[in-house]
Amino acid sequence: MIYRSKAPLRIGLAGGGTDVSPYCDLYGGAILNATVSLYAYASIEPLDNGKIEFVAVDRNESDVLNSSETLSFNGNLDLLKGVYNRVVKQFIQKPLSFRLTTFVDAPAGSGLGTSSTLVVAVLGAFAEWLKLPLGEYEIAHLAYEIERIDLKMAGGRQDQYAATFGGVNFMEFYKDDKVIVNPLRIKDAYLSELEHNLLLFYTETSRYSSEIIEQQARNVTEKKQESIDAMHHLKEQAVMMKETVLRGNIHQIGEILEFGWQHKKKMAGGISNQLIDDIYNAAKNAGATGGKISGAGGGGFMIFYCPDNTRYKVIEAIEQFGGKVKSYTFTKEGLRTWTI
């Protein structure tokens, strides 16, 4: 038997960064995101040789270990080991032997929530194999704890919930890890128009989001008002974006993205740089009405809203910087698991 899963990556449309502690614990956060047809995949094949094999095909990395209840972290595929450790500790209490194969459709550090989505997919494969009694909120919260507590990786909370639930969601974040996912019922015509007009552009660069996120958290702890005010505005942006997509006022999205981008850059240093600024300005000059960096910032994917038929001129303008536009569709389904 083989136990498989896949979970979708996400585009953050508004509110990014307000899901990071301590901001959301003190003030409450809000984010609007949408999952897209790029995925993290996981497959588990049980073994009977007392070994654990990890194979990350997209990264060309692998590891073979003796089966035990707890695997040590050494910088090699620690995300996968972290999921295994938590599953064994919390549910099984005995060593397992298996081969886990993973693949992600976007590079690590690209700003689409790849690491969190991979954790969700791997959890899904284990849940399918071991028949774990986990609902959507439980899987998302468990994935969050594995990354943020067990592995001590800096980051927010939106990615785990987006990957698990799927679709277009308005998410609210509060203290004590409370998260409320509000699925939005958006007309297909509005989503199709958004797909047509919203470009997803990979800058061919990646970044370590943890450094930016840690600085953002420090700015809140140290009560740096400019950074805190910027996060307040981004939370406001999420509400604006929700109302706009629900009402079908799609052409306002560019202005709302522009509003958020100008405030996002004030949350922490390193969110933008000269290359990102140059790409952004070129897109605006070619007809885009707004955009943003995806994820924490510093590199990876960017999105641009291109009204009418300006997308073609925008593509021509920004691809001169060496990146490439990535095709996608919005997806309505989140984590999916199956057995063969």
Q: Please identify every residue annotated as catalytic.
A: 159
Using CB atoms within 10 Å of the CB of residue 275, give its burial: 0 to 12 exposed, 13 to 18 middle, 19+ buried: middle
Q: How far apart are CA 58 and CA 63, in angstroms?
A: 14
Q: What gap in Å lies between CA 240 and CA 237, rounded to an integer?
A: 5
Q: Which residues contact 62 (CB under 8 A, 6 or more apart)?
A: 53, 54, 55, 56, 77
DSSP 3-state of 209: helix
- Helix (H) / strand (E) element for 142: namely helix 136-145
Tokens read off for 209: 């989001």
Distance CA 99, CA 34 (A): 31
Q: In angstroms, rounded to a whole number, what is the distance separating the alpha carbons of residues 100 and 125? A: 9
**CA dist 286 → 1, 202, 301 (Å):** 52, 18, 19
